[in-house]
């Protein structure tokens, strides 16, 4: 289109939309660089939300975005009544990256580095006291899908908040990724991001979300049924690596269990994740391992597997 945002951002493509407004690929006519502009609607509540996001992004300026695996923010401008946030342009969200692999799950040799980078992002957020509060595969971007190994960055701080200012009962996050304490309206902190990252890790390895559900109630019921009594009998069967040493499988599952501890106080921290033996380079020949997409692998128990539920939802 011929649309110009602000004074010098020419709209080239539409990248996505949400309740807040749209994200557009734009060309900065002054520098000829392509950027991603988040164009917020001019509604008063969305304006307020945009100001909160800017407050968080200002805190994050203390961090080096490349070293911290978070999106680079280049400030904001107004287009009429609308607040526009200027971000670096990244390639593809992790959700689409997984879908492009036909939901088969990524080889463990790729899962490890992605998980390490995202844990690094959480570690940096923790260092400035910020909770992302909406960590999911759609809010993680692959910088360039043709690079190997791939680099990922965390995006969308629209629901982020200072850990010190979390309001219990706030409805934050996305159904299927929110931690139990968030769904129950209890106080939460950085540990809620770790729960979400555990679910992203399972999704990376299996190709499908672990907790499908359109309502918090469905998801909580599913968590309680699968992780309730005894707490980890299902997670033991989440991953069945068909190739490679059993060691890699055991370490991955042990890490996931610690990320998905129902009690937030027991949940593993970013620094502990980075020291976990799963990330020990001497561990195994990682290239041999792959997690197959096989319903029986994911839940051996006689329950509808998340794969089946997920597939049926996709076909509706």
Going 53 to 58 to 61 to 63, the CA torsion angle's sign is negative
72 labeled binding residue: no
* Token pair in block for residue 211: 């907790």
Q: Which residues are catalytic?
A: 134
- Supply φ then ψ for residue 237, to 5 degrees: -105, 10
Measured distance CA(61)–CA(157) in Å, rounded: 13
* Token pair in block for residue 33: 């660089």
Peptide bond into 223 cis (omega under 30): no
- Buried b / exposed e over 235-251, threshold 16 CB at 10 Å, is beebbebeebeeebbeb
DSSP 3-state assignment of 229?
A: coil
Q: Which residues contact 230 (CB under 8 A, 6 or more apart)?
A: none
Beta-carbon neighbour count of residue 34 at 10 Å? 14
Residue 103 sits at the vertex; the CA angle it makes with 102 and 105, to the nearest 5 degrees, is 115
Q: Mark out the alpha helices in the chain (DSSP H runs).
A: 44-60, 94-99, 108-127, 180-183, 191-206, 216-227, 246-259, 270-274, 295-298, 306-315
* Token pair in block for residue 288: 């041999």
Half-sphere exposure of 75 (CA within 13 A, CB side): 3
Query: What is the DSSP-derived secondary structure letter of residue 165?
Result: G
Which residues sit in the known binding site for ATP? 38
Which residues sit in the known binding site? 38
């Amino acid at each position: 289109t011929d649309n110009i945002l602000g004074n010098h951002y020419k709209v080239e493509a539409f990248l996505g939309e949400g309740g807040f407004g749209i994200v557009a690929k734009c060309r900065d006519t002054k520098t000829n660089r392509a950027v991603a502009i988040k164009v917020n609607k001019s509604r008063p509540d969305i304006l307020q939300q945009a100001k909160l996001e800017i407050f968080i992004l200002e805190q994050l300026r203390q961090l080096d975005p490349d070293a911290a695996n978070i999106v680079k923010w280049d400030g904001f401008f107004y287009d009429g009544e609308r607040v526009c946030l200027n971000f670096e342009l990244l390639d593809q969200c992790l959700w689409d990256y997984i879908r492009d692999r036909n939901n088969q799950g990524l080889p463990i040799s790729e899962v490890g580095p992605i998980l390490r980078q995202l844990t690094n992002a959480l570690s940096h957020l923790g260092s400035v006291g910020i909770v992302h509060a909406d960590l999911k595969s759609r809010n993680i971007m692959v910088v360039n899908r043709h690079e190997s190994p791939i680099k990922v960055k965390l995006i969308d701080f629209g629901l982020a908040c200072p850990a010190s200012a979390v309001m219990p009962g706030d409805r934050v996050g996305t159904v299927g990724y929110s931690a139990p304490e968030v769904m129950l309206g209890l106080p939460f902190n950085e540990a809620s991001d770790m729960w979400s990252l555990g679910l992203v890790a399972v999704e990376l390895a299996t190709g499908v979300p672990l907790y499908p559900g359109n309502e918090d109630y469905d998801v909580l019921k599913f968590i309680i049924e699968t992780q309730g009594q005894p707490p980890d009998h299902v997670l033991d069967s989440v991953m069945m690596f068909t190739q490679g040493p059993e060691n890699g499988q055991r370490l991955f599952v042990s890490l996931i269990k610690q990320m998905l501890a129902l009690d937030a106080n027991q949940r593993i921290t970013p620094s502990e994740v980075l020291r976990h033996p799963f990330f020990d380079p001497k561990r195994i020949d990682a290239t041999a391992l792959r997690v197959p997409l096989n319903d029986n692998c994911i839940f051996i128990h006689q329950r509808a597997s998340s794969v089946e539920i997920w597939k049926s939802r996709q076909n509706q």
